[in-house]
A = this chain, B = another copy of it.
Amino acid sequence: MVPHLVTALTGPINELEQRILESTPVIERWFRLEWMEHTPPFYCSVDVRNAGFKLAPVDTNLFPAGWNHLTPEMIPLAVQAAMAAIEKICPEAKNLLLVPENQRDSFYLSNLATLQKIFYMAGLNVRLGSLSNEITEPTRIDLPDGGHVTLEPLQRGKRRLGLKNFDPCTILLNNDLSAGVPGILEELHEQYLLPPLHAGWGTRRKSLHFKAYEEVSKRFGKLLGMDPWLINPLFAQCGQVDFEADAGLECLRSNTDALLTKVRRKYKEYGINEKPFVVIKADNGTGGMGIMTVRDAKDIDKLSPKTKARMATVQAGQAVSEVIIQEGVLTHERINSAVAEPVVYMMDRYVVGGFYRIHADRGEDENLNAPGSSFVPLAFEQSAQLPQPGVKPGASVPNRFYMYGVIGRLAMLAASYELEATDPEAENLD
């Protein structure tokens, strides 16, 4: 379920929010039935933007880091969800192998320490197996908070992956495989490898995700009797763009123009006095790389060489050729004066917490996942102890975070559809 957390937005609850809050039993039952048919991703984080008139996911991460930003109160929720997940996958498991990114900054390592703690409390011995060639023996790294992590070299047998004297039942990836799938992770048929390899950015495309999300939002819109656009960012895509060679920019321009026209029409329909914008992103990119905001299609003709170079490659040096053009969703949330967007964390089918990503130097129509961003934990709402008279049980305090949890889970459901569609083993069955 969704923890009752304080959100930054304190304005009145609008019609969309009211509709979601009123429909809790209907929504929860709908999710329950969906999860009977579809397997949730093992874990997931979703960036959500609340423009007031519109509430939508803008990024869905299937290898979430940042678990260290959850408050201590949220950890039991994560542990309970981890227990539920493990019980379904491998109830007899003693050992879990966690395979991290090859990053050494202390924020990321604190994230690993938190994940290790969560799965330890859920009843597993957890060790970290590094894909890095630099890790040739167990390497202890101390953390600023006094804790530490120990990275160990992976040991690959013919059929199993593990560490020295450590044979796991389940291997949990916290590495988004941006550089492709390393051979050491292939052909592991005896162990559970989660998330599956095709959840990595070698296979994933944002456009596939948002295509699946469009379907989810239509079904959800029908359930609640509302326009799915209120929760769905429109998008278009271009398959052959080369920023540095100025190739394929015509596709980008015409699609941007068409998308801005569509959004303008929607704004007019709802009487919204905002200037529409789109966000152009690498279709296979993550970590906030290869992203730009465009307010007018003509701007694409005027890209600076610096911007072009920045757009041309994403993490792990992968070249960008496929591009998604997505309707921009303003964020009206502020913490002090900084623009903020909520990030919702889920494990198994459960929302376990979240925090705000804030960026002091960015505008409300810009990507916040960029150097200079920081994180503000969400606190539990205290006023839940004081229900307001005359309101029905369970709805006594408007719980804005509940809506973020609903939107986060809709994106997680879309990820589940997406992974089904791209599953190489499912294709073999056709």
Listed in ascending order, the chain A residues whose CB lies under 8 Å from chain B are 1-4, 24-29, 31-33, 35-36, 72-73, 75-77, 79-84, 86-87, 91-94, 113, 116-117, 120-126, 145-147, 149, 349-350, 380-382, 384-390, 393-396
Closest Cβ of chain B to A107, distance in Å, is 15
The 9 closest A-B pairs by CB, nearest first: A28-B123, A120-B394, A1-B79, A146-B389, A72-B384, A3-B76, A117-B394, A147-B387, A116-B393
A147-B393, A393-B120 given; A29·B94 CB < 8 A = yes
CB-CB under 8 A from A125, the residues of chain B are 25
Structural contact, B121 and A385, CB atoms closer than 8 A? no
CB-CB under 8 A from A91, the residues of chain B are 32-33, 36
Structural contact, A24 and B380, CB atoms closer than 8 A? no
Copies in the complex: 2
Structural contact, A350 and B393, CB atoms closer than 8 A? no
A24-B123, A80-B1, A393-B117 given; A75·B384 CB < 8 A = yes
Closest Cβ of chain B to A400, distance in Å, is 15
CB-CB under 8 A from A32, the residues of chain B are 83, 86-87, 91-92, 123
Q: How far is the CA of A126 from the CA of B25 in the complex (A)?
A: 9
Contact of A122 among B28, B113, B123 (CB under 8 A): B28
A121-B28, A125-B25, A145-B386 given; A4·B36 CB < 8 A = no
Given A3-B76, A4-B72: 15 more A-B contacts, CB < 8 Å: A2-B121, A4-B75, A24-B121, A24-B123, A27-B123, A32-B87, A33-B91, A72-B382, A72-B384, A83-B349, A117-B393, A145-B386, A145-B387, A147-B387, A149-B393
Q: How far is the CA of A79 from the CA of B91 in the complex (A)?
A: 23
Contact of A76 among B4, B25, B393 (CB under 8 A): B4
CB-CB under 8 A from A26, the residues of chain B are 123
Q: How far is the CA of A80 from the CA of B352 in the complex (A)?
A: 9
Closest Cβ of chain B to A24, distance in Å, is 6
Structural contact, A94 and B394, CB atoms closer than 8 A? no
* A/B interface sample: 30 pairs, CB < 8 A: A1-B79, A1-B82, A2-B76, A2-B79, A3-B76, A4-B76, A24-B120, A24-B121, A25-B123, A25-B125, A28-B124, A29-B92, A29-B94, A31-B123, A32-B86, A32-B87, A32-B92, A33-B91, A36-B91, A72-B381, A73-B73, A76-B77, A77-B80, A80-B350, A83-B349, A117-B393, A120-B395, A121-B394, A146-B387, A147-B387
Of A28, A79, A80, A349, chain B has the most CB atoms within 10 Å of the CB of A80
